[in-house]
């Protein structure tokens, strides 16, 4: 169990740094238009976790530690649902319900498509 916890911690560290680096690609003022950094991170996280779980469903040789590193660790540290929710709150207050609904809806639909796509992509690995 300690080995799994260390794997999750390492994955979270790497995922958090990766999230920060993706966020740096976008200027802070873009939040007023659309929070692209968080959107991209959440969608990529959905694609990655879809690929991982698709592989697991097809009995790929992933140890429990590697699975925990990638899913709970990396994807957990990489995706930013709390930031996503705060940005929806901010959009709602500054730009209105339509902007917040568009962001939330687009994130949900794109996330579902990427989860599905990741699972389908996992069949080629």
**By mean pLDDT, which of 25-29, 37-41, 42-46, 74-78 is the weakest?**
25-29
Burial of 3 (0-12, 13-18, 19+ CB in 10 A): exposed
Q: What is the mean pLDDT of residues 94-113?
A: 95
Q: Considering the entire predicted model, what is its pTM?
A: 0.76
Q: Give the pLDDT of residue 59.
A: 83
How far is it, in rounded angstroms, from Cα 42 to Cα 37? 9
How far is residue 110 from each of residues 56, 114, 116, measured CA to CA in Å?
A: 22, 6, 10
Q: Are 95 and 30 in contact (CB under 8 A)?
A: no
Q: Looking only at Cα atoms, what is the longest distance across the chain? A: 48
Q: Is the pLDDT of residue 30 over 60?
A: no
């Amino acid at each position: 169990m300690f080995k799994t916890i260390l794997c999750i911690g390492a994955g979270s560290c790497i995922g958090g740094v990766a999230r920060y680096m993706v966020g740096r690609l976008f200027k802070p003022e873009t939040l007023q238009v659309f929070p692209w950094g968080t959107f991209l991170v959440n969608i990529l996280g959905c694609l990655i976790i879809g690929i991982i779980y698709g592989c697991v469903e097809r009995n790929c040789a992933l140890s429990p530690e590697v699975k925990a590193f990638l899913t709970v660790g990396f994807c957990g540290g990489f995706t930013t649902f709390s930031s996503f929710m705060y940005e929806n709150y901010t959009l709602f207050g500054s730009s209105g319900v339509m902007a917040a609904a568009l962001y939330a809806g687009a994130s949900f639909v794109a996330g579902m498509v990427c989860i599905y796509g990741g699972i389908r992509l996992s069949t080629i690995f």
